[in-house]
Structure 1
Amino acid sequence: MTIKILVRLLLPLYALLFSMATVATETQFSQGKEKSVICMTCHGTDGISTIDTYPNLQGQKQAYFIAALKAYKLRQRNGGLAILMHAQADALSEKDMQDIAFYFNQVTSTPLKNDD
């Protein structure tokens, strides 16, 4: 086979795979957004907290985010306000954690200005 024939055969396959990945990404983002509504109660819209004692979640690395949620679920994180997170993490499945972590990793917004 020549290179041209290979390109003609593989290009549509790559396009199909890319479009499938894009749809999967959009689906995970929307599922993560839906599942993260409760998180926004304390951690703010799109994960930008307006309360000093609650961390921002926006832009958090997915692996770290999932590890933190699992640690709350296993009661390995106990300091500060961890007790509030225990019940939240208990209600999450592995898929929920992945979707929420994906959402907060991908979402962007303009942070509120601090007038200090």
Structure 2
Amino acid sequence: MTKATHTLRLSIALLATLAMAACSQSSVESAGKSAADPGHASGEHGSRSSAGLPQGRSGVGERLATAKGAATGQSCIDCHGADGNNPIDPTYPKLGGQYGDYLAHALQAYRSGDRNHMLMSPQAAGLGDQDIADLAAYFGSRPGQLRDLHGLK
């Protein structure tokens, strides 16, 4: 691997880590507010998600992850693997163990068109808020392969 490729990969990983930390911090802050104000936790949508989504149901998310999407004829696990850790293409992200809020925000961005990918955008276009929450809960509950990149050269 060239030094430029290695540097690019580290930069991408760092940006992803910073985005995840921001989502995680929002959840921590929200949880702190919820403890001070029990009515705050449920909000208008019964949500604790920084994405403003309802509570995710991992079991339903697992079923959704295996369902073929009408837009592409593919399921989540066809491209990302059964636990979200074995993508068919090295440029596809590993979803297993990822922060649920991060996954929810990403799916919302694909759905709205703020984030574009030739397969993910049409797949996400038909997802409702509960579907996104359920998928995020499922993949977030799977074993992860996330690792700390501190100190890598």
User: TM-score under structure 2 normalisation?
Assistant: 0.49
Q: Tell me the SS of whatever aligns to 2:115.
A: coil
- CA change 1:95–1:56 in 2 (3 A) is same
Structure 1 unmatched ranges of 5 or more: 1-24, 111-116
Q: Which residue of 1 aligns with 2:93?
A: 55
- What do the CA deviations read for 1:3-51 (whole angstroms, capped 9, x no partner)? xxxxxxxxxxxxxxxxxxxxxx9x9221110001110010111101242
Two-structure CA RMSD over aligned residues (Å) = 2.1
**Aligned mates of 2:64, 2:126 — CA distance in 1:** 11
Structure 2 Cα separation of the partners of residues 95 and 103 of structure 1: 12
Counterpart of 2:84, as a letter, is G
Shift of 1:91: 1.6
From the CA coordinates, give the structure whose radius of gyration is larger: 1
Shift of 1:106: 0.6
Aligned to 1:28: 57
Q: Given the alignment of the two structures, is residue 95 of structure 1 paired with residue 130 of structure 2, yes or no?
A: yes
The residue type paired with residue 88 of structure 1 is Q
Which residue does the alignment assign to 1:42?
79
SS in 2 for 1:36: helix
Instruction: Look up the SS of the partner of 1:104 in the other structure.
Output: helix
Q: Which has the higher helix share?
A: 1
Q: Give, in whole Å, the separation in 2 of the partners of 1:103 and 1:76.
A: 23
Q: Which moved more, 1:101-110 or 1:59-68?
A: 101-110
Number of residue equivalences? 82
Task: Tell me the alpha carbon deviations over residues 63-86 of structure 1, each in whole angstroms, 9 at most, x when there is no partner.
Answer: 1111101111111113xxx12111
- Equivalence for 1:85: 120
Find the partner of 1:75 among 71, 89, 113.
113
Contact 2:97 2:144 in 1 (8 A): no
**Which 4+ runs in 1 deviate beyond 6 A?**
none
Which amino acid in structure 1 is aligned with residue 81 of structure 2?
Answer: G
Residue aligning to 2:20 = none
SS in 1 for 2:124: helix
Gap regions ≥5 residues in structure 2: 1-54, 67-74, 146-153
